[in-house]
Structure 1
Amino acid sequence: MQDVDVFTDVKARDGKRGQYDGCYGRWTIAWTIVVRLPLLVLVVLPVALISSALRKTCCCLTADDNAEILPEDEWNSGDHDEHGDGGSGDLEAAKGVLPLEQRKFDVVFLGASGFTGRLAVRYMAAQYANSVKWALAGRSIGKLEQLRAELAAEFDPELAKLQILIVNVTDDNSLAAMCSQTRVVATSVGPFAKYGTPVVRQCVAHGCAMVDTTGEAAWVRECTRQYYRAAQASGARIVNFCGHDCIPADLCVMQVFETLVDVNPNEMLARVELFDDGRGQISGGTLETVFYHQNTYRPPQASFNPLDLERDGSRSDFRIESFTRLKPGYSATHDSWYAWFYLSAVNMACVRRSNVIKHYGAHLEYKEQLVLPSLAAAIAWVINNALLAFFLFHPFWRAVASKLGMLPVAGKGPSEAEMDKGYYVQHGHGFGDMGSRVSVQMYFPTDTLYRLTAQMFVESALCFALEGAELEDEGGFFTPASCLGPVLRNRLLEAGICEIETKIDAVADVDFDVVDDFDNYKATAYMA
C-alpha cells in the first residue's frame, strides 16, 4: 500500500482489457447497436410480452402474498422460523464442546468439491498446505477423495493424509460433528438462503467462527435477525460477504475512511463514491442463486433492517443512503462515463453493516457505479444487459437459453484461460464532513468473481486461524471490514491478491492541536 500523487494505470501496465475497451470494444459497441438492439426491440421484447399475456390468460396467475412484517419485540424469536430451519435467537449453546484452542482443526472447508470450493482448497494447498490444521468437508466422499488425491499429487504428498468429513447441510448431526471439531468453518455451499442457515445455526451453537462467500444480502439480514443474540452469547463470529461480494467494496470504503482520518482525526465520512471496472464471467452456481431468490426465497421483513443492529441489540443512529444511479451518466468526480453496477445494492448492504460497527459517518451517502470508456459504451451496456435480463428472468426466453446451452449449469464456471483475462479495479472517492477529499485505488490482477473470491475467502478464514488475537473478539454478525479489517487487508497485500494506492485530493481547515506531528501532517496532506 502506498500514497501517490497520481494513480497507476494498472490496466495499461498489465495489458488488461474490458469488454468495451480498445478496437474489440468498439466492435462490440457497433455490433450491439446494429444487431442486438433490433433483436431486442423487434423480437425479444414482443415475444416476451405475448408470452406473458398468454401465461396470465391460461394460468390465472395470482400475485404472491406480501411478506410478513415482524415487530421489533419479535426479533430473534423462533416463532417466525417459517423456512424449517429451527433457528432462534434463544438457541442454546451446544453442551460439552471443547474450547476453541483445543479443537482438532483450525479450518474446515465445507463445499470443497464445488466450483469455488475447489479453487479455494487448491489455493490453500499451494500456499498454506502445512501452516494450519485443515480438513475437507462435503456430502460426496467420492468427489472429496478424488480432490484430496489431486491436491497431494500436484502440491504436497503429505496432503494425502488430509482428513475428510462427510457433512450434509440438511443433517444437523453431521453439521454439529463438524463444528465441534473446528475453530473456523469456511463454507461456499450455496445458494446460502437454501443451504446456509443450518450451517450458521450450528456454528453459533458451537461458538466457532464462520466465513462464507455469500452475496445474498436478504439471507444475511434474516440470519442476523434470528441469531444475533445467540452469537453474542456463544462468542461465535459470523463473517458474511467474504468474496467478490463484498470484500473489494467493503475494504475500499474502510481504506477511504482510514485515509480521511489520517488527514484529520476529527473528520467523519459524509459521502463515498465507488467506481468499478472489471472483467469476468458468471458460473452456474451464481445463476442458481439468482433464480432461487427470484422464484423461492421470501424471508419475513423486520420492522427495521437487522444490519442496523448495534452491539447491544439497539438500532444504530448511523445511517446510509443510496445515491447510485440506474441510468448511464457522467461523473465529474471520477472523470468518466458510468452505468448501473449489478453489485451496488449488496455492496451497500455490507458497507451499511460496517458503518454501524466502525462508525464511518452518522449519515453516509453511498454511490457505486460501473466505469465505462464512453457514452456509446454506456448505451451498449444498457442494451446488452436488457437482453441478458430477458434471457435470465423471463420464463420463455430463459427456457430458450437453457435449451440452447447458453446458460452455465451448477458446478461449472469460467475456464482458467478466461479467468486469466479477468481483473478488477475499484476506485473510492471519500468526502469528509469538514471538506477534505481522499481517493483510494484497489487493483485485483485476475478474475475476482471466482479465482480471487476463493483466495480472499481462504485469507479471511486464516485471519482467524493464524491472527485471531488481532481480531474482534466479541460474538455477533460482521462484515470483512468490521471484523477482519486491517488484518485481512494486510494479508491480501502480502499475498499479492491486490494492490492499494491512496491519494489526498483536498484538505479542510484543521485544528492542528489534535495532530501529533504537524510537519509530517503538512507534508503528507498537501502533496496533492
Structure 2
Amino acid sequence: MSDQQREFDVIVYGASGFVGALVARHLAANAPQGARIAIAGRSAERLERLGLDLPIVVADAHDVPALTTMAGRTRVVLTTVGPYAKFGKPLARACAETGTDYVDLTGEVLFARDSIDENHEIARRTGARIVHSCGFDSIPSDIGVHVLHELVRADGAGELTDTTLVVTSMRGGISGGTIDSMRHQIDVMKNDRGLRRIAASPYSLSPDRESEPDLGRQPDMLTLAGSEVDPSLRGHLAPFVMASYNTRVVRRSNALRGWAYGRDFRYREVLSVGTSPAAPVIARVTKAVLSGLVLGFAVPPVRFVLDRLLPAPGTGPDERTRRNGHFTVDIFGVTTTGARYRARVKAQGDPGYAATTVMLSESALALALDRDLLPDSGGGVLTPATAIGDALVTRLRAAGLEVTARKA
C-alpha cells in the first residue's frame, strides 16, 4: 500500500498508558496542521477517557491480525507498550511486513537483537524503517555522535577514535517502565548463558560481529577522572546506567554506515559526579549500586524488597517533576588527525518523560512528514541516526532542544 492510500500519518499505540498518554497529548497539541494522528490500544473505553479529539483504533498487543490491519492504515506506528520483549515483537513484525515505519522507546538489548534478526531483511524488502530507542535511550547518544561525526567529516579532520559521552547534568524521576524492562530482561537471561553473552558483548546489536574491528575490552562500568576524557573536563565520572545499551546502538550506527565514524572508533558513556572531595567515593558507590541492582533483581529475597521500593509499571513522576527536570550530555571526540571535537545535546524537562515525549514524537513526525529529507538508507532495523539523521536534528532544534557540535 502506498503512503497516499494510508489513512493516518502516525498512530500512537499504548496511548492510554502513562507515557503513551503524554505522547498522545503532545502530538494532539503540537503536530503540524493537517497531520493525521490516531491513538490506539486494547481498550476503546480507556482511550476515550483521554478526552482527545482523535480517531481511536483498537488492537491487542498479541492479536496479530489486528496489529497487521492497524499497521497497514498508517505511515508510522509509535509504540510505548513495554516491556518490549514481552509485548512488542508482534507489532514490530507487523510493521516490517506491511512496509510501515515504526518507532519505540526500548532500552532492551535482547529485544533489539531479536528484532534485528527477525525483521531486518523483511523491512529491507518492504522499505519499512524499524527504529528502536527514540527517547532518552538513545537519541542524545546516537544523534549526538551523528552531529559530531558530520562536523569532523565536513572539516576533513579524519575519523573519530576515542569518543566519550558525559552526562554533565541530569534531573528527573525514575521510570516504572524502565525498571520493569530491566526485571524482564534479567528474568530471561537468568538461566541462559548464551543470552548473557549477547547482552554483555559490546557489539550485540551490530549487523555483523565478525566484521567489527578488534578494539579489545570496552567496559561499561567505568570510574574515571574527567581529565582522562578531555583536558578541559574537571571532576570525576561514574558509570551511567544506560551505557550498556546506548553504546551498542551507537556502534550499530557506525557499522550500518560502513564504519564511517572510524574503524578505530571507541565509544563509552559516563556520568559526572562533580568536583567535590567526595566525588571519587561517589563514583565508586555509584558503580557498586548499579552492579548491586542488577544482582538484586536476580536474588528473590532482594527482589521482593526492590519491587516494593521502586516505581511500578505504568507509573511516573508528577507534572511538576516532569516540568522541572532537565539533562545535558556532552560528547568529547578525538580524531585520527589529533583534533578534538565536542557535541552537546541538552533539553528542558524530565529526561525519561517530558524530553522523551518530544524526542519520540519528533522521530515519528520526521518519518511520516519529512520523507524527502531522510537518509538514503532504505528499510531495515535501523537507528535514529541512520534512519532519520539530519531530519531529526532539525526537528529537535525546532522543538527547543540544543543539538550542537564544535571544534574544541
Secondary structure in 2 matching 1:270: strand
Given the alignment, which residue of 242, 263, 274 partners 1:362? 263
Given the alignment, which residue of 91, 100, 109 partners 1:199? 91
Q: Corresponding residue for 1:87?
A: none
1:237 aligns with 2:129: yes
Partner AA of 1:368 in structure 2: E
1:442 aligns with 2:369: no
Partner AA of 2:304 in structure 1: A
Deviates further, 438-447 or 183-192? 438-447
Given the alignment, which residue of 397, 400, 403 partners 2:305? 400
| Percent of residue pairs identical | 33
Deviates further, 121-130 or 272-281? 121-130
Tell me how far apart the structure 2 counterparts of residues 175 and 442 of structure 1 sit (CA, whole Å).
35
Deviation, structure 1 residue 493: 0.4
Tell me how far apart the structure 2 counterparts of residues 181 and 503 of structure 1 sit (CA, whole Å).
42
Q: Corresponding residue for 1:329?
A: 224
1:272 aligns with 2:272: no
CA contact (8 A) 1:211 1:242 kept: yes
Q: Corresponding residue for 1:307?
A: 205
CA contact (8 A) 1:273 1:367 kept: yes
Tell me how far apart the structure 2 counterparts of residues 117 and 273 of structure 1 sit (CA, whole Å).
32
CA contact (8 A) 1:318 1:356 kept: no
CA contact (8 A) 2:334 2:341 kept: yes
Tell me how far apart the structure 2 counterparts of residues 264 and 126 of structure 1 sit (CA, whole Å).
42
Tell me how far apart the structure 2 counterparts of residues 287 and 249 of structure 1 sit (CA, whole Å).
20
Q: Corresponding residue for 2:34?
A: 131
Q: RMSD over aligned Cα, in angstroms?
A: 2.3
> 1:152-301 alignment to 2 at 5 Å?
159=53, 162-264=54-156, 267-276=158-167, 277-296=169-188
Given the alignment, which residue of 314, 320, 323 partners 1:411? 314
Deviation, structure 1 residue 392: 4.9
CA contact (8 A) 2:374 2:390 kept: no
Deviation, structure 1 residue 338: 0.6
Deviation, structure 1 residue 420: 2.4
Q: Corresponding residue for 2:397?
A: 493
* Cα distance change, pair 230–320 in 1 and its aligned pair in 2 (3 A): farther
For normalisation by structure 1, the TM-score amounts to: 0.69
CA contact (8 A) 1:256 1:438 kept: yes
CA contact (8 A) 1:309 1:315 kept: no
CA contact (8 A) 1:235 1:476 kept: yes
1:431 aligns with 2:334: yes
Tell me how far apart the structure 2 counterparts of residues 214 and 331 of structure 1 sit (CA, whole Å).
30
Unaligned runs of 5+ in 2: none
Deviation, structure 1 residue 214: 0.6
* Cα distance change, pair 437–138 in 1 and its aligned pair in 2 (3 A): same
1:377 aligns with 2:279: yes
Secondary structure in 2 matching 1:214: coil
* Cα distance change, pair 413–357 in 1 and its aligned pair in 2 (3 A): same
CA contact (8 A) 2:28 2:37 kept: no
Tell me how far apart the structure 2 counterparts of residues 318 and 254 of structure 1 sit (CA, whole Å).
20
CA contact (8 A) 1:260 1:430 kept: no
Partner AA of 2:225 in structure 1: Y
Q: Corresponding residue for 2:245?
A: 346
Secondary structure in 2 matching 1:282: coil
- The structure whose Rg is larger is 1
* Cα distance change, pair 325–467 in 1 and its aligned pair in 2 (3 A): closer
Tell me how far apart the structure 2 counterparts of residues 427 and 322 of structure 1 sit (CA, whole Å).
23
Secondary structure in 1 matching 2:262: coil
Cα deviation code 1:262-288 (max 9, x no counterpart): 3226x1111211111312222222211
Secondary structure in 2 matching 1:458: helix
Tell me how far apart the structure 1 counterparts of residues 58 and 406 of structure 2 sit (CA, whole Å).
49
Deviates further, 206-215 or 376-385? 376-385
1:142 aligns with 2:14: no
Deviation, structure 1 residue 329: 2.7
Partner AA of 1:399 in structure 2: F
CA contact (8 A) 1:104 1:181 kept: yes
Deviates further, 271-280 or 164-173? 271-280
* Cα distance change, pair 435–387 in 1 and its aligned pair in 2 (3 A): closer
Deviates further, 127-136 or 188-197? 127-136
Partner AA of 2:235 in structure 1: S
Deviates further, 289-298 or 380-389? 380-389
Deviation, structure 1 residue 422: 1.4
Given the alignment, which residue of 458, 469, 481 partners 2:385? 481
Tell me how far apart the structure 2 counterparts of residues 197 and 264 of structure 1 sit (CA, whole Å).
42
Deviation, structure 1 residue 383: 3.4
* Cα distance change, pair 327–201 in 1 and its aligned pair in 2 (3 A): closer
Q: Corresponding residue for 1:62?
A: none
Q: Corresponding residue for 1:68?
A: none
Cα deviation code 1:307-352 (max 9, x no counterpart): 3327xxx964567766456353312112221111111111111101
Partner AA of 2:234 in structure 1: D
CA contact (8 A) 1:111 1:137 kept: yes
CA contact (8 A) 2:237 2:283 kept: no
Unaligned runs of 5+ in 1: 1-97, 152-158, 506-528
Secondary structure in 2 matching 1:351: helix
Deviation, structure 1 residue 130: 3.9
* Cα distance change, pair 232–384 in 1 and its aligned pair in 2 (3 A): closer
Tell me how far apart the structure 2 counterparts of residues 200 and 182 of structure 1 sit (CA, whole Å).
14
Deviation, structure 1 residue 379: 2.0
CA contact (8 A) 1:107 1:182 kept: yes
Tell me how far apart the structure 1 counterparts of residues 312 and 32 of structure 2 sit (CA, whole Å).
31
Deviation, structure 1 residue 458: 0.6
* Cα distance change, pair 379–325 in 1 and its aligned pair in 2 (3 A): farther
CA contact (8 A) 1:318 1:355 kept: no
Tell me how far apart the structure 2 counterparts of residues 184 and 175 of structure 1 sit (CA, whole Å).
13
